[in-house]
Amino acid sequence: MALKNILVHLDSGTRSTVRLQVAAALARRYDAHLTGLGVIDIPSVDFFYGSAMPFAGTGPEDVVERMRADALVAMEPVEAGFRERLRLDGLPGEWRLVEGHLPATVPLHARYADLTVLGQPNRYEPQENAGMDAMVVNTIMTSGRPVLAVPFAGEFPVVGERVLVAWNASREAARAVNDALPLLEGAKLVTVVAINPRQGIGGHGDVPAADIVLHLARHGVKAEAAHTVANDISDGEALLSYAADLGVDLIVAGAYGHSRAREMVFGGVTRTLLSEMTVPVFLSH
């Protein structure tokens, strides 16, 4: 699969420009069509009926219309920045501004793209974080397409030259590797690492990650197999530590091998990556 249709979620937040830069760089590399998606997520009129919030003589319909108007104004420079990026880079693309519930709307549009670029939820900025966590998770779980999550801190002028693939021989990991093939084929360095590899049916062979490295070699990807044992920290933390040691600019991983509820309560690799990532993470379910 070639990356010929890339979607990026943009908003009036401070990290929107970074996401656009990452998405545009990928679109240039793969000669892809770039779609910028802005979502106006405002409550319905029904939300305000029966509320104790004083309207000072203003009806709920007027409140909603005022919120809509303010949101449209806030998105004007976002659209202008996106169109300017297309012009400067000579990219084919389109701007979409839609109204709807953010966690449900983005996955819908993501189904018609090869890759969707989203922002990491920023726990330090609750105002910018509203709906972001649910949006990222829902897009991963329900769109049927991979997601590239961009950290809420840092600049990423290069993504995909040095790649770390998290491999645990699961269905989700296999799906992620397949979805990431266009990126892996163009990478200068690919390392496939198994964290605390397990043996037997459904696990790894005699040499952890060797079988998937052989598969990648048949696609022209020169990858190295590695494994590590980390009993004192979680698998997710071990993966991030390994990525830091290698100096990679992209992590590829299967998402939510356990149920979402289990990961929310007990933690998991996906939750660790989404909360602690320092480089972009390619996730597929």
What is the average pLDDT score of the chain?
Answer: 89
Q: Using the predicted structure, report yes or no on whether residue 211 has a pLDDT greater than 60.
A: yes
Q: How confident is the model at residue 228 (pLDDT cuts 50, 70, 90)?
A: confident
Q: Using the predicted structure, report yes or no on whether residue 80 has a pLDDT greater than 80.
A: yes
Q: How confident is the model at residue 262 (pLDDT cuts 50, 70, 90)?
A: very low
The percentage of the chain sitting over the pLDDT mark of 70, rounded to a whole number, equals: 85
Q: What is the mean pLDDT of residues 241-252?
A: 97
Q: How confident is the model at residue 2 (pLDDT cuts 50, 70, 90)?
A: confident
Instruction: Name the token pair of 7.
Output: 């979607």
Q: Using the predicted structure, report yes or no on whether residue 24 has a pLDDT greater than 70.
A: yes
Alpha carbon distance 228, 194 (integer Å) = 6
Q: Using the predicted structure, report yes or no on whether residue 50 has a pLDDT greater than 90.
A: no
| pLDDT tens, residue by residue, 179-195 | 999 999 999 999 999 99
Q: Using the predicted structure, report yes or no on whether residue 55 has a pLDDT greater than 60.
A: no
Alpha carbon distance 48, 7 (integer Å) = 33
List of domains in the chain: 5-150 (3.40.50.620), 162-280 (3.40.50.620)
| pLDDT tens, residue by residue, 146-157 | 999 999 999 999
Q: Using the predicted structure, report yes or no on whether residue 81 has a pLDDT greater than 80.
A: yes
Alpha carbon distance 254, 182 (integer Å) = 16
Query: What confidence score (pLDDT) does residue 200 get?
Result: 59
Burial (0-12, 13-18, 19+ Cβ within 10 Å), 265? exposed
Q: Using the predicted structure, report yes or no on whether residue 59 has a pLDDT greater than 60.
A: yes
Beta-carbon contacts of 37 under 8 Å, excluding residues fewer than 6 positions away, are 7, 8, 9, 10, 96, 98, 106, 109
Instruction: Note whether 43 and 64 are within 8 A (CB).
Output: yes
Query: What confidence score (pLDDT) does residue 205 get?
Result: 65
Q: Using the predicted structure, report yes or no on whether residue 267 has a pLDDT greater than 90.
A: no
Burial (0-12, 13-18, 19+ Cβ within 10 Å), 282? buried
| Residue matched to tokens 């992620």 | 176
Q: Where are the beta strands (DSSP E) in the chain?
A: 5-9, 33-40, 93-99, 115-119, 147-150, 162-166, 189-195, 223-228, 250-254, 281-284
The larger pLDDT score, comparing residue 268 to residue 214, is at 214
Q: Using the predicted structure, report yes or no on whether residue 260 has a pLDDT greater than 60.
A: no
Q: What is the mean pLDDT of residues 112-128?
A: 87
Q: How confident is the model at residue 70 (pLDDT cuts 50, 70, 90)?
A: very high
Alpha carbon distance 155, 136 (integer Å) = 20
Query: What confidence score (pLDDT) does residue 265 get?
Result: 39
Query: What confidence score (pLDDT) does residue 257 get?
Result: 75
Alpha carbon distance 25, 32 (integer Å) = 10
Q: How confident is the model at residue 52 (pLDDT cuts 50, 70, 90)?
A: very low
Alpha carbon distance 120, 27 (integer Å) = 20
